[in-house]
Amino acid sequence: MTCGRRPPPSAALDSGPHLDRRRDVWYVTYGSNMQRRLLGRYVDAADATSLVFDVPRPRWFGGYSHRWDGGVAYLGLAASPGGAPTQVRAFRMTFADVLTVAAGENVDDDALLAAPLAADLPPGGWVPLPVTANGDPLRGKYNALLRLDDVAGVPAMTLTTWREITPRPPGPDYATVILEGLIEAGVPSGPARSALESASARPTRVPPPTGPLRWRCRLERDAGCPPESLAIPRRFGEFLTRSVTGHVSDDGPPVSATLEPTETVASAARCRCHPLLLPGAVECSVALPIDVGARPEG
């Protein structure tokens, strides 16, 4: 029998040491956000400093966007030293701004606006973001946060995907905004067209993420449920596919505990906590190993 339902509790990623959200970073763009006007859909980029450089990773196109009538751009999670580099445009902004862009791109305000990044994520490392499509092709496409090589000592971040997305060429309007973004940044028209034409037809392999996904949330008890049953936000429940050990606190020092998945309902997933902690809610921080061989479907 299914227990009573309630809206999922609020949640945030927790990767240990956090990158200060007020810290300046470079947000690296390679698709429609290369145009300052279009990046302004998410953050105020009118006066943001920008620069253009190459990264040794392929740009590829896939999925389908109704707005652009074709595939959209992604950057390879794996470097391709021998392949054609991708010409990108980076904007100087705060890390909080990057998370705001991530929330807008994924049509998901809850998880990403609060998502901290491990301070020790090395250049070339990436972490999965716990966004889900929920059957909506507009949601959750840019579900990986990738750190590129630092630029003048400043961290460089971009968003891409670890989903299985079918390759598809971009529509003409989408290709045009990328071209215009490069030209706007000062790249001559000829080299800008060459940079766009060098895009890969297919995505590269997905390397393992840099460490497990860590999250922190408040687990609630539902009326009518067994006392050891806890409601967990659905987006995290989809990653909780087997028992994991984490640190759980019940108005006291955190203790080691095991979370065992039980069921998923419309608004939340549920798990059991061993040992059982009382009373009604606990704070939980858990590292979830992510299997990149079984990526979320595109």
| Same fold across 17-197 and 209-288 | no
Summarised one tens digit per residue, pLDDT across range 71-100 is 999 999 888 777 778 999 999 999 889 988
Domain 17-197 class, CATH top level: alpha beta
Summarised one tens digit per residue, pLDDT across range 15-32 is 344 556 678 999 999 999
What is the DSSP secondary structure assignment for residue 181, as one 8-state letter? H
- Per-residue tokens: 143: 């579900």
- Per-residue tokens: 207: 């390397």
Regarding pTM above 0.85, the answer is no
**What is the C-alpha separation between 26 and 33, in angstroms, rounded?**
13
Q: What is the phi-psi region of residue 63: left when phi exceeds 0, alpha when psi lies from -120 to 50, beta otherwise?
A: left
Residue ranges per domain, the chain? 17-197, 209-288
Summarised one tens digit per residue, pLDDT across range 213-261 is 665 666 666 555 555 566 666 556 666 666 776 666 655 666 777 777 7
**What is the C-alpha separation between 102 and 57, in angstroms, rounded?**
20
Q: Determine whether domain 209-288 maps to CATH 2.40.10.
A: no
